[in-house]
Structure 1
Amino acid sequence: MPYVVDFEDVSAVGLETSPVAEALAGLRANEARYFKNKYGHVFTVSPASEEPETLDYVNRILADERKLDIAARPLEVTSFEVDGIRMAYVFYESGLSINVMYTIADAGKRAVGFKLSEGMEVPAELGAAGFKFARQKSKLAGTIRGSFFVIKGEY
């Protein structure tokens, strides 16, 4: 069942099994606030089991581009299009959030972003791949660590 993410009254609904549920809820709310403020888009997530095509899309890009296979259990996903950009998100039980930004126009930006919730370790598969994480402060999520890579293929 879809859940509209409220960034004013942050809730861990759907994320309760995560050891960093509150921080992951803040991270999810931070994304919701960004899309509402920048694009007027209401950020809605669904259980990963209800949108397998979104999870498959993200997993295919990770595997094809960087041979990555995320070990953590996916809890929630969302996919939508805003301003000519196809977005897909997966929120994992470990506290990891992965987003795919894919500009539909050929000359646009295309990247995969990783964000780590406060209190979680860098996942072994990302550490082994050599990703370095920059820190950013968020009123909703505390300290978020993030990294990314540019997508080279066509999806």
Structure 2
Amino acid sequence: MPSTVDFVNVSTEGLESSPVADALAGLRANEARYFNTKYKAPFVVYTPEEKPEYLELVEKVLKVERDLEFASKPLEVAEMHVDGIRWTYVIYESGLVVNLLYTLADAGKRAVGFKLSQGMEVPAELASTFKFARQKSKLAGEIRGSFFVVKGEY
């Protein structure tokens, strides 16, 4: 069942199995606030079973572009279409949030972003390849993030 993320009253609903559930809920709320502020759009999440195409797209891009597969269980997925950009999200039990930013017009921005919840270790799959910048968030505490540019067509 879809759920609109509330960034005012942060909830761990759907994320309870995560060892960093509170921080992950804050990170998810931070994303919801971004879409609300910038695009006036709600951030709606689904289980991977409800929207398997979202998970499949992100997994395909990760595999093809960087030969990445995450051992952590995906808990939620989301997709937004705003201003000619498709944003596809996967929220993992470990506290990792992966987003695929894909401009639908030719020659637009296309990238995969990684955000780590406060309190989680850098996943082994990313530790040797990516450096993470730190950002403070009222909702999520400290967010560590990294990204790579997508070269293929998806």
Instruction: Name the structure 2 match of 1:78.
Output: 78
Q: Note the C-alpha offset of 1:80.
A: 2.1
Once residues 60 and 68 of structure 2 are traced to their aligned partners in structure 1, the CA distance between those partners, rounded to angstroms, is 9
**Counterpart of 1:76 in structure 2: which amino acid?**
E
Give the alignment's Cα RMSD to 1 decimal.
0.5
Which residue of structure 2 lines up, in the alignment, with residue 147 of structure 1? 146
Shift in Å, 1:19: 0.3
Tell me how far apart the structure 1 counterparts of residues 72 and 135 of structure 2 sit (CA, whole Å).
Answer: 23
Query: In the alignment, residue 87 of structure 1 is paired with which amino acid?
Result: W
The one-letter code sitting in structure 2 at the alignment partner of 1:132 is K
Q: Secondary structure at the match of 2:49?
A: helix
Q: Structure 2 CA distance, aligned partners of 1:2 and 1:14?
A: 11
- Taking structure 1 as the reference length, the TM-score comes to 0.98
Cα-to-partner distance string for 1:102-141 (whole Å, 9 max, x where unaligned): 000112100000000000000000113x100000000000
TM-score with structure 2 length normalisation?
A: 0.99
1:89 counterpart SS class: strand
The match for 2:54 is 54
User: What 5-or-longer segments of structure 1 have no aligned partner?
Assistant: none
1:134 partnered with 2:124: no
State the distance in 2 between where 1:53 and 1:103 align: 18
Equivalent residue pairs, number: 154
Q: Counterpart of 1:153 in structure 2: which amino acid?
A: G
Identify the residue that residue 13 of structure 1 maps to in structure 2. Answer: 13
Match of 1:4 in 2: 4
Q: Which residue of 2 aligns with 1:96?
A: 96
SS, match of residue 112 in structure 2: strand
- Structure 2: 5+ residue runs without aligned partners? none
Same amino acid, percent of matched pairs: 68
Query: Which deviations, in whole Å up to 9, do the C-alpha atoms of 1:23-57 show, x marking residues without a partner?
Result: 00000000000000000110000111211110000
Whole-angstrom CA distance in 1 between matches of 2:94 and 2:78: 17
SS in structure 2 of the partner of residue 48 of structure 1? coil
Letter paired with 1:139: K
Which stretches of structure 1, 4 residues or more, deviate above 2 A after TM superposition?
Answer: none
